Amino acid sequence: MFYPVKNADRGTRNVRIKRAITALSLLILLALLTALVGFYRHRAARYTPDLPVTAVALSDHASVIGVYKWRICGPFVAATEDQHYTPLTERNMLLHDYLHDIHGAETPLHIALPRTNIGISFDRDPAAEDKAPITKQEFLNQDITFPTPDIKTQLLYWGEYHVFKVVYAAAFLDSPNEQDVILLSATNSPIKIWLNDQFQTQSSPGSVGEYWYAHVGTVVHLRTGKNTLLIKMLCFPFRNDFAVWIATREGAYAFIREHGGLFDLSAQLVIPRGEPIVLAPILSIYDRGKDTLKSYSILDQRGRVVRHGPLTEPTIDTSYIPDGLYSLSLKYDALTVGELIFLGNPVTRLKEYQTQCIRGARINVPCAGLSRLATTVKDASAGFAVDKQKLLVSLIANFEWSIHRLPLYDGLTDEVPRVRLISFISKIDHTIQYYYMHVPSGVPPSRHIPLAVILPTSAPILPFFDNWITLHPASLLKYSRFADRYKMAVIEPFARGELLPSDLAEADILQSIKDAEFRIAIDKSRVYLAGECGGGRSAFLLAEDHPDMFGGISTIGAATGVDTAVRDQEASRQNVLLRLRNIAFIPTRITHGAEDYHSPVRQANVLLEKGAKVGFHPELVLLPGDSEFGYVESYRKMFEVFSISKRSHMSADTVFGKSDNGTSRNYDAAQPYDH
């Protein structure tokens, strides 16, 4: 038998050589990879800045932690072609690495400039300062500890940089262990967020506005030790705010509920024909995985379901749904949320409304709003900016509800707050006047419910459809959420756009209340007054004029003043502090931000001191910062007190002195206040 021994030895030797070459190649590759990793670690260690640290030790007792300490770097003024808010502007500014312009980088994070040490004063009201053009190029690159998580860039740059710009904020999150957490952010400006040099989330395109709430959120993984957090904010010429919290899942849910729930469920509220509904990224925090029961419904305004199905994607198909106003209702296990959307082309609807009004619509159809609707439809930003789309949907909704005569008691359970426009003929000058009304869902028409009357705050005096109350519907939507929670109706009278004292405005407010009582079943012992800032002052003045009408007063940052002297008649009419005896028996809560320098808490302290001398003892609730967006929601505190207050009988020592128009105008003896 023949055995090829030599050939076998040669084959074995070749195999060994190949294995040796392979092993050597792997060793060389491993060495190169090790060197490369070492290089990047060295580079990261070299570039990682010494950032302020926030400890993230979450527990049942600390389920939400705010980030107060930041390295602020900026502002970076946007290019000339980006000095207008458009989809392209937002995209360009969020994509461009401005840190690279100063030899740094967003990823891996490197802030290259030397530190600055510029004094920042937080005890001032930037809204009262001059809105001057660019006067000095004061660039910040320094650690700043803010009084609250509410980061106001106008405190940093108010006197200059009234242009489109970008600001960075960076911090270390120090975690005691590996953990998955919810990162929440509230902002009225577009933002982009990185964690450990990895992009996490950003605000939906155009999702900005005057009112801000938690509309950015995602699940992130924290490693043990320090984690680098980077925020990039596109700042508009004036006010820009953001805040960041780290929370457990249950803590995040409770926090969002505290602030009125989720808003802006869809990335856009006006959706062209056939385009899908793109859901907001924050909804992902309610998705616990395959065990989560998720579904959607699209309903018309009579509550009929036009499409329904499971939520398997972050988009919802709208093909073959006719143009019109719809409710989008989403369910995540026990959570149900909803909002109004418009599918189709608003121009077509505008033409239909114009035809309706030419034919001679009744008073309940808001034909006077056609001009505002036409202006909004033609506004290019309404195809992009969600705050403009809120206005557009609000106007369209009120035309739809009026033309189709949908009842105030709609009986719908889609969790969509519906703010209705109501008109009446003034008994004073016979002009058409307006107010907004929301009736809580699920309340039978026969049940008498409380009524909260929100008095408008300071704003330029303009026609109703050009006024703040119409142009910014977000505040009324938020009021409506809390009115639903406490099962009460809410109205906001226009009052000619004026603050009290004003005889015409006061007459309109009182007639709005009477009109609301005619339209729905109101518990007259539970009619409440509420307002913010100048609206809070108006609430006090109206209650002092008609103390027998109201079961409670609740204000936020009320501008009640500090002057306790009786002066000329007009000055005394404007002074809340002179007739507190009239409302001594009315349950009252005054909510203030401890560091609110626009409406300082000193005013509340003077009111408490003056009130104590005449038997008026309101409850003072102090919230951190300016009460804008802390752990406790000021709107909820406003409505909470109404749930336990009821009109009581007037005390015997209440002083009344009726003037010609029937209001109480006797003043308490002036008590000098020690400044």
Q: How does pLDDT run across 445-458, given as a tens digit for each residue?
A: 889 999 999 999 87
Q: How far is CA 79 from the centre of its chain?
A: 28
Look up the CATH architecture of domain 53-249: Sandwich (2.60)
**Percent share of the chain, pLDDT over 70:** 86
- Alpha-carbon distances, residue 363 vs 186, 367, 400, 517, 638 (angstroms): 40, 8, 14, 19, 33
Convert 492-510 into a string of H (helix), E (strand) and C (coil).
Answer: EECHHHCCCCCHHHHHHHH
Beta strand ranges found along 254-323 (DSSP E): 270-271, 277-278, 294-299, 305-310, 315-316
Place of tokens 């596109």: 234
pLDDT digits (tens, 9 = 90+) for 150-169: 777 777 875 555 788 899 99
Q: If you average pLDDT over every residue of the chain, what do you get?
A: 85
pLDDT at 392: 95
- On the question of pLDDT at 635 being above 70, the answer is yes
Q: Provide the whole-model pTM.
A: 0.86
| pLDDT number for residue 653 | 45
Listed residue (553, 550, 635) closest to 590, CA to CA: 553
Instruction: Tokens for 359, please give them.
Output: 């034919």
Residue 66 has pLDDT above 90, yes or no: yes
What pLDDT, on a 0 to 100 scale, did the predictor assign at position 661? Answer: 40
Count Cβ neighbours within 10 Å for each residue of 119-158 and write b for 16 or more, e otherwise: eeeeeeebeeeeeeeeeeeebbbebbebbbbbbbbbbbbb
Q: Which residues contact 484 (CB under 8 A, 6 or more apart)?
A: 417, 438, 440, 441
Q: How far apart (Å, rounded) are the C-alpha atoms in residues 323 and 270?
A: 11
pLDDT of residue 45: 44
pLDDT score recorded for residue 6? 52
Q: Is the pLDDT of residue 127 over 80?
A: no
- How many helices and strands (H and E) does the chain possess? 14, 27
Task: Cite the beta strand spans of 41-150 per DSSP E.
Answer: 53-55, 64-66, 69-77, 140-145
Q: Which two tokens stand for residue 40?
A: 């990047």
Contact 102, 47 (CB under 8 A): no
- Per-residue model confidence as pLDDT tens digits over 660-673: 344 455 555 433 32
Residue 423 vs residue 32, higher pLDDT: 423
Measured CA to CA, the distance from residue 184 to residue 168 in angstroms comes to 17
The reported pLDDT for the residue numbered 316 is: 96
Contact predicate 436/456, CB 8 Å: no
H or E element at residue 165: strand 165-175
Q: What are phi and psi of 557, to 5 degrees?
A: 55, 40
> Domain ranges in the chain?
53-249, 259-416, 417-675
**Which pLDDT score, from 0 to 100, does residue 544 have?**
96
| Cα–Cα distance list, 32 to 19, 20, 29 (Å) | 20, 18, 5
Environment class of residue 46 by beta-carbon count within 10 Å: exposed (0-12), middle (13-18) or buried (19+)? exposed
Same fold, 53-249 and 417-675: no
**CATH number among 1.20.1050.10, 3.40.1280.10, 3.40.50.1220, 3.40.50.1820, domain 417-675:** 3.40.50.1820
Greater confidence (620 vs 568) lies with 620
